[in-house]
């Protein structure tokens, strides 16, 4: 079977801001309270989508969620009309208001874990929306994410949608940010690597835990997904993140490793028992044609990796080459830039590096890889995707105009209770739901 890998990027929402909501994510903490530029953020993301589309890759678009999330604020006891709810939350618990305004659903690598049909027992593409329980502002994404995925991948014959895992820390699930699939070609059965930060139920394997920052993904969450997605034992590898790097700001595995097809590009400190992990992947992959590009700490430290987001790159495959899509910060860190120069000029399979300015997202700890959800699709599955959500030149123009019309170019956390921002966001999303052919998906449209 012939298949292709599509990237579904999250559009940055109109309330994009820096509220310092993600303890353990260094950029989020460092940029707390600086003003954001939602318009620029959305345009930067859109330019990346356009560039990947121009490379001939299949590119999809996922919509932002409804923010400010008035329904959640009401659930938490803030009463009155919309303006009163916003004002009460801003006055009484501004942290809750900020959480209910975060545009964090843009990082669609955390939207779900996806297993392609060639890996699953029933020959369907399986989706499990991530519960994201480690952070309140992210936990309120999962139900709507499930709803959106069903609208974008509607056909039950080809697509199987699971519910998010139970919303407790033992099953903490952060989606594809901790999931990597290796394969010889996209249409063949692959090897799925599930990386976790800790065990949820305290069995002996959990002895190594980070000391400062939280481990967001549990092994039990990954195991539940493997069962639900009907994956076979021999094609699954579990690996524990190195707890020391979590403590240095590697809050998801995709901050320290990226893989695609038969290539794994990672830092030498990514996993516990790293060499045993390599052996397991190679054994499951079952051919010698597997390349590991391991970056030693004496070339690039974990700190440099976290600051440059080198490993939060997208490793994409065009018919003639493998390309690394990196954040432009990689060009500014001299050790990283030197390393990348050597990489493309050496005899490794990656032969091109393309930098992108995603600074607005990066300031919240979201690089190129965070912004996309990978979905491997056969031709017939691709035909069943909601076609209005697939990128094209006309859609690029439409979205560019839509962003320029509806988005502010400056937003600070003090602006989040502004009732005009609520109106602007709702108008924008109402119009977007028509552009993307999603119907009335938002609460305010009911
Ligand atoms: O969950 N940042 C996100 C970044 C997610 C990056 N995703 C991947 N690595 N796949 C997070 O920590 C910050 C929001 C704020 O502080 O305003 C935030 O949610």
- Could you give the domains of the chain? 3-67+102-445 (3.75.10.20)
pLDDT at site 203: 62
Report the DSSP beta bridge partners of residue 441: none
User: Which of 16, 20, 25, 178 best tests ligand 1's pocket when mutated (most atoms within 8 Å of CB)?
Assistant: 25
> Burial level of 2, CB count in 10 A (0-12/13-18/19+)?
exposed
Please, what's the b/e burial string for 17-55 (b: 16 or more CB within 10 A of its CB; e: otherwise)? bbbbbbebbbbbeebbeeebbbbbbbbbbbebbbebbeb
Which atom in ligand 1 lies closest to the alpha carbon of residue 98? 17
Q: What separation in Å is there between the alpha carbon of 366 and the centre of ligand 1?
A: 6
Catalytic residue among 192, 370, 406, 424: 370
pLDDT at site 350: 97
**Torsions phi, psi of 16, nearest 5?**
-50, 125
pLDDT at site 208: 82
- Shortest CA distance to 385 belongs to which of 114, 8, 2? 8
Euclidean distance between CA atoms 180 and 187, whole angstroms:
16
pLDDT at site 318: 97
Mean pLDDT per 10-residue section of the chain, whose length is 446 residues: 96 98 97 96 98 98 98 98 98 98 98 98 98 98 98 98 98 98 97 96 72 96 98 97 97 98 98 97 93 98 98 97 98 98 96 98 98 98 98 98 98 98 98 98 97
Query: How many C-alpha atoms does 227 have within 13 Å on its Cβ side?
Result: 7
Tell me, what DSSP letter sits at residue 194? Answer: E
Q: What separation in Å is there between the alpha carbon of 135 and the centre of ligand 1?
A: 9
Q: Read out DSSP for 379-442?
A: HHHHHTS-GGGB--HHHHHHHHHHHHHH--S-B-GGGGG-HHHHHHHHHHHHHHHHHTT--S-S
CA-CA-CA-CA dihedral for 259, 265, 268, 272, to nearest 10:
10
For residues 248 and 303, is the Cβ–Cβ distance under 8 A?
Answer: yes
Q: What separation in Å is there between the alpha carbon of 22 and the centre of ligand 1?
A: 6
Which atom in ligand 1 lies closest to the alpha carbon of residue 31? 16
Q: What separation in Å is there between the alpha carbon of 365 and the centre of ligand 1?
A: 5
Tell me, what DSSP letter sits at residue 261? Answer: B
The H or E element that residue 147 is part of is helix 142-152
- Shortest CA distance to 329 belongs to which of 310, 354, 301? 310
Q: Cα–Cα distances in Å, from 235 out to 119, 283, 286?
A: 8, 9, 10
* Residue 203 falls in the annotated catalytic set: no
Ligand 1 pocket, CB under 6 A:
18-22, 25, 28, 102, 104, 107, 109-110, 135, 138, 177, 251-252, 254-255, 364-366, 370
Close Cβ partners of 323 (under 8 Å, ≥ 6 residues apart): 55, 315, 316, 317, 350, 351, 352, 353, 354
Euclidean distance between CA atoms 437 and 357, whole angstroms:
29
| Vertex 119 angle, CA 283 and 150, to 5° | 145
Close Cβ partners of 296 (under 8 Å, ≥ 6 residues apart): 268
Tell me, what DSSP letter sits at residue 317? Answer: E
Catalytic residue among 161, 252, 267, 333: 252
pLDDT at site 393: 98
Does the reported pTM lie above 0.95? yes
Euclidean distance between CA atoms 255 and 217, whole angstroms:
14
Report the DSSP beta bridge partners of residue 193: 180, 237
């Amino acid at each position: 079977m012939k298949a292709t890998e599509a990237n579904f990027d999250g559009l940055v929402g109109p309330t994009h801001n820096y509220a310092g909501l993600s303890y353990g994510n260094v950029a989020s903490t460092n940029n707390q309270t600086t003003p954001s530029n939602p318009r620029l953020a959305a345009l930067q993301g859109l330019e990346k989508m356009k560039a990947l589309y121009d490379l001939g890759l299949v590119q999809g678009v996922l919509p932002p969620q409804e923010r400010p999330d008035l329904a959640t604020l009401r659930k938490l006891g803030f009463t009155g009309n919309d303006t009163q709810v916003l004002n009460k939350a801003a006055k009484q618990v501004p942290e809750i208001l900020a959480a209910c305004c975060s545009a964090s659903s843009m990082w669609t690598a955390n939207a779900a874990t996806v297993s392609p049909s060639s890996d699953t027992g029933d020959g369907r593409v399986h989706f499990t929306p991530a519960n994201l329980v480690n952070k309140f502002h992210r936990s309120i994404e999962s139900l709507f994410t499930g709803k959106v995925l069903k609208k974008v991948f509607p056909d039950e014959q080809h697509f199987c949608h699971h519910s998010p895992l139970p919303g407790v820390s033992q099953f903490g699930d952060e989606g594809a940010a901790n999931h990597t699939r290796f394969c010889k070609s996209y249409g063949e059965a692959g090897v799925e690597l599930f990386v976790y930060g800790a065990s949820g139920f305290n069995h002996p394997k959990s002895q190594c835990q980070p000391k400062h920052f939280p481990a967001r993904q549990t092994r039990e969450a990954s195991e539940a997904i493997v069962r639900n997605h009907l994956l076979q034992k021999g094609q699954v590898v579990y690996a524990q993140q190195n707890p020391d790097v979590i403590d240095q700001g590697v809050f998801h595995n995709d901050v320290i490793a990226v893989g695609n097809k038969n290539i794994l590009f990672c830092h030498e400190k990514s996993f516990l028992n790293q060499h045993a992990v390599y052996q397991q992947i190679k054994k499951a992959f079952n051919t010698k044609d597997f390349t590991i590009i391991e970056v030693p700490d004496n070339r690039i430290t974990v700190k440099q990796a976290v600051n440059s987001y080198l490993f939060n790159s997208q490793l994409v495959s065009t018919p003639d080459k493998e390309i690394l899509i990196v954040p432009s910060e990689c060009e500014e860190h001299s050790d990283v830039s030197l390393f990348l120069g050597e990489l493309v000029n050496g005899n490794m399979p990656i032969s091109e590096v393309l930098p992108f300015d995603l600074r607005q997202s990066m300031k919240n700890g979201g690089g190129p890889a965070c912004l996309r959800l990978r979905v491997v699709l056969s031709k017939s599955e691709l035909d069943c995707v909601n076609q209005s959500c697939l990128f094209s030149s006309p859609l690029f123009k439409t979205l560019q105009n839509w962003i320029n019309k509806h988005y502010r170019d400056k937003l600070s956390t003090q602006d989040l209770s502004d009732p005009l921002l609520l109106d602007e966001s709702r108008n924008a999303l109402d119009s977007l739901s028509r552009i993307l052919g999603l119907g009335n998906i938002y609460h305010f449209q009911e």
